[in-house]
């Protein structure tokens, strides 16, 4: 959901907007001067939770930082992002207790589902700013069963379901076979009335 604004909003005005009582239980991003309410659905939430779980298990054995879920927000290059999953090292200090964390994460995981031209365009704009801030990005495309890996100063990698996602310099020693993540997407549930007609 995009909330229309007549002119690009300053980041200070956005921060005041999200603190309004009616907005405190909602999640917004601030991209290119626009306010966007963060969409969610069970499929993307499930995938994000699975990835978060894998990183959490890694961090239990390698206590180097925090992992946050889709409700965690970060300030990135003057904008405000809420990645589906993020990792940030302890060296960047304790996590903020309210609002958006003042520093960008070391790793941002974004899930694009369902993917549209508009959603992919917004995500690629975020990727540019993430990279400028030194953040590695894993962009999951469930419909294509692919992951695009963006690392500062390196060419993009495109991984398929048969590949293994490597933690690189951000999560040394982390590896995740993508076949464990990408399972065939279920068919949409049939309309009950159509189902009844078919059975009759």
pLDDT tens digit string along 118-158? 888 889 999 999 999 999 999 999 999 999 999 999 999 99
* Mean per-residue pLDDT, 6-16: 67
Position with higher pLDDT, 27 vs 193:
27
Domain contains 8: no
Higher per-residue pLDDT: 13 or 182: 182
Are 178 and 159 in contact, with CB atoms under 8 Å apart? yes
Give a yes or no: residue 166 inside a domain: yes
Please state the pTM of the whole predicted model.
0.82
The helix/strand count (H/E) of the chain reads as: 4, 13
Report the number of distinct structural domains present in the chain.
Answer: 1
Band the pLDDT of 4: cuts 50, 70, 90: very low
- Give the three-class secondary structure for 184: coil
Angle at 30 between CA 27 and CA 31, to 5 degrees: 130
6 confidence band (pLDDT: 50, 70, 90): very low
Average pLDDT, the chain: 85
Domain extent, residue 70, equals 40-185
Q: Which of 53, 61, 70, 56 is nearest to 108 (CA)?
A: 70
Could you tell me if residue 25 is inside a domain?
A: no
At 2, is the pLDDT very low, low, confident or very high (cuts 50, 70, 90)?
A: very low
CA distance 78 to 38: 18
- Over residues 40-67, the pLDDT tens digits come to 778 888 899 999 999 999 999 999 999 9
46 falls within a domain: yes
Query: Is a pLDDT exceeding 60 seen at residue 31?
Result: yes
* Per-residue pLDDT at 83: 94
Q: What's the CATH code of the domain at 122?
A: 3.90.1570.10
Q: How far is CA 168 from CA 82, 95, 124, 151, in A?
A: 22, 23, 21, 9
**pLDDT at res. 188:** 63
Residue 127 in any domain: the answer is yes
State the pLDDT confidence band at 21, using cuts at 50, 70 and 90: confident
Give domain status of residue 22, yes or no: no
Question: Is the pLDDT reported for residue 87 higher than 70?
Answer: yes
pLDDT given for residue 1 in this prediction? 31
Supply the pLDDT for residue 185.
Answer: 59
The whole-number pLDDT of residue 32 equals 77
What's the first-to-final CA gap in the chain, in angstroms?
A: 40
Which pLDDT does position 199 carry in this prediction?
56
Q: DSSP assignment of 91-153, as one string?
A: GG-SPPSSSSBSS--SEEEEE--S--HHHHHHHHHHHHHHHHTT-EEEEEETTTTEEEEE-TT
Q: Is residue 15 part of a domain?
A: no
Tell me, yes or no, whether 82 lies in a domain. Answer: yes
């Amino acid at each position: 959901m995009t909330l229309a604004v007549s002119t690009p909003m300053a980041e200070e005005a956005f921060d005041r907007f999200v603190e309004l009582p009616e907005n405190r239980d909602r999640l917004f991003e601030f991209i290119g001067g626009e306010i966007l309410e963060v969409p969610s659905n069970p499929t993307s939430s499930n995938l994000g939770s699975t990835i978060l779980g894998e990183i959490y298990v890694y961090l239990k054995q390698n206590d180097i930082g925090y992992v946050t879920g889709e409700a965690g927000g970060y300030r990135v290059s003057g904008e405000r992002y809420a990645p589906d999953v993020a990792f940030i090292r302890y060296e960047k200090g304790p996590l903020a207790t309210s609002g958006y964390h003042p520093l960008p994460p070391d790793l941002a995981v974004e899930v694009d589902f369902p993917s549209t031209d508009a959603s992919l365009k917004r995500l690629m704009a975020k990727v540019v700013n993430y990279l400028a801030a030194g953040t590695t990005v894993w962009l999951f495309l469930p419909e294509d069963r692919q992951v695009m890996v963006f690392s500062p100063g390196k060419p993009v990698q495109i991984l398929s379901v048969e590949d293994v996602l490597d933690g690189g310099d951000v999560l040394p020693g982390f590896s995740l076979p993508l076949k464990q993540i990408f399972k065939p997407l279920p068919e949409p549930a049939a309309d009950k009335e159509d189902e009844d007609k078919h059975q009759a």
